[in-house]
Amino acid sequence: MAFSPANRKGTLSGIIFVAIFAAAATMLSNIEVIKSLGISPLVIGIVMGIFYANTLHNKIPSEWGTGITFSGKKILRFAIVFYGFRITFQQIAEVGMSGFMVSLIMLSSTFILGTYLGIKVFKMDRDTSMLTASGASVCGAAAVLATEPVLKSEEHKTAIAVSMVVLFGTISMFLYPVLYVTIIEPSTGFLHMTTQQFGIYVGGTIHEVAQVVAVPASIQGAPTDMANSAVIVKMTRVIMIAPLLIVLGIYLSMQAKKSGKEGSKVSLVIPWFAVYFIGMAGFNSLGIVPQNVVNIINEIDTFLLTMAMTALGMGTIFSKFRGLGLAPIYTALSMFIWLVIGGFIVTKLVTAIF
């Protein structure tokens, strides 16, 4: 046990060690240049953690390892639950059926496509494929972190998935404003989208929440309905991580039962933290908690997520990546192409119907 009398001191030291790294990552993310690029402290945290893992990891007491593991597992689940304070059911209702359907179609199709291509076409293992697909289909690094406990995967596989999210999410952040100005802009673009349609397209297809926020902000003269639609649709995708993980848990249980010995008992894998996440979002929807308190909760939650991401990076040693080759990049690139092109088509069709 992490907090048994024998391990307590080492565990606390490890947690404090991770928290120091997370605090540094948070400070770096607030530097103007980094902030303008939409790079979240989560991403900076994993980069710092990976750097430490491959340079200085032998310089600290081994007893601290339990604290690092605790930060990457237990603190993570706690932080995912309180991520629900970023969402209200009212926000989801505001965007209407079109935003909901775009979110649902893009999430499910991207996850299935990424998992299939990763396993069947590019010959990756199941966990890396599903983690990469989760990050692209839902909400980037946070979705990868939320999916990892359900799969019970190794830390380096989670780091690979996060790396793919960072790479293609960053490309999206710079690509979408260019697409809007050149070929999508309502009055001149030959692919023509209204500002609200483009907002739905952005929210339904870009990886990270911060990247979604950055796209309308980088388009000169972008109206508020573009930014609002983008964020609401994105948060609709975020809340869908809970049903996705529950369905995934049921699927994994069925697969385990199918491959196991006849008569063996297989427990149903339900990620309760995902259920609690929905409950927290529902509680937040009641408006009982003052907004200034919610803002403080969200800041603390971001720090806890940064700790989890940093701890993840600390368990990532490059030697574990050997043998994977370019398969993760091919898988993530395929999903990226689907999100950009398929997402445009889906958004146009759905908004025309609803």
Neighbours of 17 (CB within 10 A): 20
* Local confidence band at 266 (pLDDT 50, 70, 90 cut-offs): very low
* pLDDT, position 262: 46
Q: What share of the chain has pLDDT > 90, as a percent?
A: 23
The arithmetic mean of pLDDT across residues 182-207, rounded, is 84
Q: What share of the chain has pLDDT > 70, as a percent?
A: 88
Average pLDDT score, the chain? 82
- Start-to-end CA distance of the chain, whole Å, equals 53
The DSSP 8-state label assigned to residue 120 in this structure reads I
Is the pLDDT confidence value at 268 over 60? no
The arithmetic mean of pLDDT across residues 245-261, rounded, is 78
Give how far the C-alpha of residue 1 lies from the chain's centroid of Cα atoms, to the nearest Å.
29
**pLDDT, tens digit, for every residue of 126-154?**
889 999 999 999 877 778 878 887 887 77
The arithmetic mean of pLDDT across residues 271-293, rounded, is 83
- The residue among 332 and 69 whose pLDDT is bigger is 332
* Local confidence band at 264 (pLDDT 50, 70, 90 cut-offs): very low
**pLDDT, tens digit, for every residue of 196-249?**
889 999 999 998 776 787 788 677 777 777 877 887 888 788 888 888 888 888
* Under 8 Å between Cβ of 299 and 26: no
The arithmetic mean of pLDDT across residues 177-189, rounded, is 79
Q: What is the pTM of this model?
A: 0.70
152 sits in the region (left: phi over 0; alpha: psi -120 to 50; else beta) called left
**DSSP-derived 3-state class of residue 268:** coil
The arithmetic mean of pLDDT across residues 283-301, rounded, is 90
In angstroms, the CA 124 to CA 130 distance is 10
The arithmetic mean of pLDDT across residues 272-295, rounded, is 85
The residue type of 8 is R
In angstroms, the CA 272 to CA 249 distance is 10
Is the pLDDT confidence value at 286 over 80? yes
Using CB atoms within 10 Å of the CB of residue 56, give its burial: 0 to 12 exposed, 13 to 18 middle, 19+ buried: exposed
User: Which residue reads 């397209």 in tokens?
Assistant: 201
Is the pLDDT confidence value at 1 over 60? no
Nearest to 54 by CA among 301, 310, 318: 318
In angstroms, the CA 324 to CA 220 distance is 41
* Under 8 Å between Cβ of 79 and 303: no
In angstroms, the CA 280 to CA 323 distance is 41
